[in-house]
A and B are shown apart, each in its own frame.
Chain A
């Protein structure tokens, strides 16, 4: 018989570094500034902060408490709530798998551009350089097998670096890596922002970013944008935060930790907005145009607009190294938690060692990534997978998990009492309303808006073949694959009971818990399906 002890974060600081590193990603730098500008500028603060507290923080509580209480990646954690909902966990695992596949490609681009910044290699035409000279992008090719050698090599290096860190384990690999990378990222971006603030035109950029348009608050789409930004930015609802919390010590102040992580993420986001719009103000001043003419988001902002800014500003190469280095670090630290989900899930389901799970799962993800991304059609493939995963993966599974776990398995009361037993910020009364009613409604509205658009018109004008394979095909793989994986037997003997060390319940006196403190090991045959693992605790205690 083999006994395997679950790793834990050594200190709260280590977990905070990993969690903040996970939350701060590419979207903080290249999505938030644009979303805020497009949705009322300064007045976007109102829906943004309301969404942060009533959507982001409450969802983070939900993810953290499930991971903490049931101590597993999504399939095991959800199976411990009810064996029949294991498939929901596998959908989350496959979502993170596909995100890892394309996310690393952007990291490889950022690594290249950090190097290119030294010589301003993009010259006078950053757009042409990025599309033609760098990516060799051919929009006419639906599925290319022609690889760009340099890009393939650097992508391989990025994967090797990530898997080396992941194979070292949660504490030694991810924890140590995050404790170095996250402070470095913050310092680098502070330097970028300070430099950008002193560029000519910066104040005009900031004026465009913060000028309030109060009429925007009457537009429901602005409120949806606030919630959408918070959900995507915090990466809640699809297993990442849940898995990270499964490594927390049994006695951890979960709600305060979640609050801190959420506000740290937003603090970085607003800092990024200040830096990006100061730089865009400089760009507009140089071109003699308006901010609205130069503002962009995503790949266009990072790899086309910023190179233009870097080329024209004093000290551009240093600024470029800091900017693309930050982009790389933000994505790199997020990748730890993204790829951790499938690694931990397969490790638990198939009783693999950490190293074997990392090499197997990470190896397959790396292979798919290397096959699809550094090709002449890689940019389109990345864009399509990203869009469909976001809409048909993340949003759908977030709603399903909330409704099925919270209402179907009646877990909101149990989870709320678990949180209150060990946390400083109380959840009693208010939390189930926000996480159980408001959040699913908002997410459903977001889903309907996006899904109807994708069904009615081909996304971004891509060919039917591309959309069928990388859009609808990937979405189908998420759900069919998760069903298949959930039907496979668990290797080894795994307990599907709530682990006793985290079966907190504020209503039960410690003496009754002490009597239950017998280490048990339950075979699958003995395991009782735990429709609400804590069903006995619910008796007379539903509030």
Chain B
């Protein structure tokens, strides 16, 4: 292999695998519940006390037949 090919191979691998490493580090440092600009005490709606724990639902559907 020529020197330029070896250099490009190293740069290629460092950039692409480095990008993957950056993503992995970010994920390790920030858990889902604290990421972003929402205030730390923010409670997801599906965890608001007294609210039906619908979780992430799409529109609850009534079947035509049952109406």
Q: Which residues on A are within 8 Å of B, measured CB to CB?
A: 1-6, 8, 12, 41-43, 45, 49, 52, 71-72, 76, 203-204, 206-207, 209-212, 246-253, 256-257, 259-260, 262-264, 266-267, 269-270, 274, 348, 351, 420-425, 491-496, 499-502, 504, 506, 509-510, 513-514, 517-519, 521-522
The interface residues of chain A lying within 8 Å CB-to-CB of B43 are 510, 514
Per-residue CB contact flags for chain B residues 18-43 toward chain A (1 = under 8 Å, else 0) read: 01101110110011110111110111
Smallest CB–CB gap between A394 and chain B, Å? 24
Interface centre among A41, A250, A256, A509 (most CB of B within 10 A): A256
Contact of B57 among A6, A492, A514 (CB under 8 A): A6
Smallest CB–CB gap between B63 and chain A, Å? 5
Beta-carbon contact of B36 and A6 below 8 Å: no
How many residues on B have C-beta within 8 angstroms of the other chain's C-beta atoms? 51
Task: Give the CA-CA distance A519 to B15 in the complex, in Å.
Answer: 46
The interface residues of chain A lying within 8 Å CB-to-CB of B46 are 250, 501
Pick 7 A–B contacts, CB within 8 A, sort by A: A71-B57, A211-B8, A257-B27, A421-B38, A422-B38, A513-B45, A519-B54
Task: Give the CA-CA distance A425 to B52 in the complex, in Å.
Answer: 32
Beta-carbon contact of B2 and A259 below 8 Å: no
The interface residues of chain B lying within 8 Å CB-to-CB of A494 are 58-59, 61
Q: How many A-B residue pairs have CB under 8 A?
A: 203
Smallest CB–CB gap between B20 and chain A, Å? 4
Interface centre among B1, B6, B15, B63 (most CB of A within 10 A): B1
In the complex, which residue of chain A has the Cβ closest to the Cβ of B30? A424
Beta-carbon contact of B15 and A249 below 8 Å: no
Smallest CB–CB gap between A252 and chain B, Å? 5
Smallest CB–CB gap between B22 and chain A, Å? 7
Smallest CB–CB gap between A194 and chain B, Å? 14
Interface centre among B6, B11, B37 (most CB of A within 10 A): B37
Task: Give the CA-CA distance A49 to B30 in the complex, in Å.
Answer: 25
The interface residues of chain A lying within 8 Å CB-to-CB of B5 are 41-42, 206-207, 209-212
Task: Give the CA-CA distance A270 to B14 in the complex, in Å.
Answer: 11
In the complex, which residue of chain B has the Cβ closest to the Cβ of A45? B12
Whether A256 touches B35, Cβ cut-off 8 Å, given contacts A492-B63, A513-B45, is yes
Beta-carbon contact of B54 and A422 below 8 Å: no
Beta-carbon contact of A249 and B61 below 8 Å: no
